[in-house]
Amino acid sequence: MRKDNGRTCNVAIAGYGGQGVLMIGLLIARAGLKEFNHVSWFPTYETWQRGGRVFCGVVLSDNQVISPMIAEPQSLLVFDEPALDLYEGSVAPGGLLIFNSSMVKRELKRNDVKAIPIPATELAQKMGAIQVSNLVLLGVYLKMTNVIPIEMVEKTLEDTLRKEQKDKLAPLNKEALRCGYERM
Amino acid sequence: MVEKILISGNEAIGYGAIYADCTHYFGYPITPQNELIEFMAREFPKLGRTFVQAESEFASISMVCGAAATGVRAMTSTASTAFSLMQEGISGIASMELPCLIVNVQRGGPGAGSTQHSQMDYLIATRGAHGGYKNIVLAPFSVQEAFELTQLAFYLADKYRIHIILLSDGIMGQMYESVELKKLGFPPLPEKNWAVKGSAAHNYVRTFVHNSPGIIGSYYDYMKRSDEKYTKIKENEVRYETYEIEDAEIVLVSYGSTARVSLRAMYLARDEGIRVGLFRPITLWPFPREAINKIADNTKKFLVVEDCMGQMIEDVELAVVGKARIGLVGSMDRNLPTGSGMILSRKVLEKIKDFN
């Protein structure tokens, strides 16, 4: 790849519409703005707000992002089985594959990636809302890669919820994030 | 670290318009440009500027025409299908020599096509509608560039009294990147003494903006004036960027979002020892014909990467004049058969290796 000094991290996230795939990607991207000079977020989704395939890729880099459309992610967060079917093959060899074992029931085909099953939906349900399963997976990702300090992501989460006038949801959201983070 | 915000390509154009002191936006919603019209609806009134959602895209372009004729900086934005709807209005604007900005965030075509990205409007943007006029076409490949080229667009529009098309696409429009918001500086511009500002304006010297060349002066006068204008633009306003061209045995030619994909493909190829370069036109009109012609003295293979069935490739063929061979990576090489399909870097790499 391009010979320059500096870090480049990327992560891809995939699931179905309504699981909060894009929101997690945006959280990483926004939090990353303080740490990295160049950040990109690339979404692709179908014509449904609930259901349909959703994918996003985030690149955090010290140098200009070559292409936001990442095809070989260093890390992949998988929310459901169809997402695993679509993107399992794309993970870079030796990469990280964090998947929601509550919804992924089959064996992985890859044996050259670091696979981490997390029963995210069940954990979220125990906390009170399945909608925060995305944050559980994000917490795991942050602990495993150390790409951005969790405090920075928490702050970004608070700011985002405040802007949307959903401050009341902050405690539950942060609990879900910590749940994933502290699990590892 | 410089302070940056994370915004979409569509919104970046909105910010660019604000920073360029554009005061009038007239538009109509259509996917995938909606983040832009929504941004304008929200931000322009806060700044005391005019936002109007017209009843159609033809009404939008007509309003742009009227506003621009009074000397204000006016713009609209749309996507492919509705860009077609604006064409008569654009031809009118061309005949009146009105400065303004028209943004086309390309989606699949023809017809209603798809709601997702494409690069299928290259020819219509660069060739225009009836009458044979020309206009500058600017093509950003990053969100930062979209922000900056929008400011440049308003400057060039006023400098030459010409309408500018900013050609984006669904990927460029909806992806987010970090942007440094800064106001670009430009040389001073003359007064718009041609603008229609009421009978008391210009010391009571009457001005007349009209769409029939030959009403004031002759038809030939209009043609001569246009010819001189276009020649000046071709001589002074060509913009492009090159990457690792000097020793390249294959040069990729690409603009907009596919240029990002091509850039990555270039690095992947170089990793495997294949000497690939990238030529990225920023002005699609005036097309960087001479620059490509010169490269063709040393490089004998050009691979055009564009998300359509082959449109910019025609300009590359004209530029190269038979001195090199030209191949195409187009929409048939997308990774999926649906409207979401994209041209990806590995596919471009595959076509580089197959190009013999």
Chain segment A43-59, per-residue pLDDT in tens? 988 878 888 899 999 99
Residue A47 touches partner B, C-beta closer than 8 Å:
yes
Interface with B, mutate which of A24, A35, A67 (most B CBs under 10 A): A67
Judged by average pLDDT, the poorest of B33-42, B199-208, B239-248, B298-307 is B199-208
Q: Give residue A141's identity as a one-letter amino acid code.
A: Y
Interface with A, mutate which of B175, B243, B271, B335 (most A CBs under 10 A): B175
Q: What is the pLDDT of residue A47?
A: 78
Q: Which residues in chain B are contacts of A36 at CB distance < 8 A?
A: 178
**CA angle B356-B261-B128, nearest 5°?**
90
Residue B4 touches partner A, C-beta closer than 8 Å:
yes
Q: Which two tokens stand for residue B275?
A: 């000497």
Q: Which of A34, A40, A67 sits opposite B176 (nearest CB)?
A: A40
Average pLDDT estimate for B95-120: 96
Compute CA distances B186 → B12, B158, B285, whole Å: 19, 11, 21
Residue A65 touches partner B, C-beta closer than 8 Å:
yes
For residues B66 and B1, which has the higher predicted lDDT (pLDDT)? B66
A61 has a pLDDT exceeding 80: yes
Q: What is the pLDDT of residue A77?
A: 98
pLDDT in tens, B298-351: 999 999 999 999 999 999 999 999 999 999 999 999 998 888 899 999 999 999
Average pLDDT estimate for B17-22: 98
Q: What is the pLDDT of residue B2?
A: 84
A1 has a pLDDT exceeding 90: no
Residues in chain A: 184
Residue A23 touches partner B, C-beta closer than 8 Å:
no
Using CA coordinates, name the residue in chain A closest to B5: A33
Using CA coordinates, name the residue in chain B closest to A3: B267
Q: What is the pLDDT of residue B285?
A: 98
The DSSP element (H or E) to which A81 belongs, if any, is helix A81-87
Residue B260 touches partner A, C-beta closer than 8 Å:
yes
Average pLDDT estimate for B28-46: 97
Q: What percent of chain B has pLDDT over 70?
A: 100
Compute CA distances B219 → B131, B211, B215, B216, whole Å: 12, 11, 8, 9
Query: Edge-to-edge, what's the strand order for the sheet holding A53-61?
Result: A114-118, A96-100, A75-78, A8-16, A53-61, A38-45, B176-179, B5-8
Average pLDDT estimate for B49-61: 98
Q: Which residues in chain A are contacts of B260 at CB distance < 8 A?
A: 66-69
Q: What percent of chain B has pLDDT over 90?
A: 92
pLDDT band at B151 (very low <50, low <70, confident <90, very high): very high
Q: What is the pLDDT of residue B338?
A: 85
Interface touch B176/A38, C-beta < 8 Å: no
Phi and psi at residue B222, in whole multiples of 5°? -60, -45
For chains A and B, count residue pairs whose Cβ atoms are closer than 8 Å.
66
Nearest to B242 by CA among B305, B194, B295, B200: B295
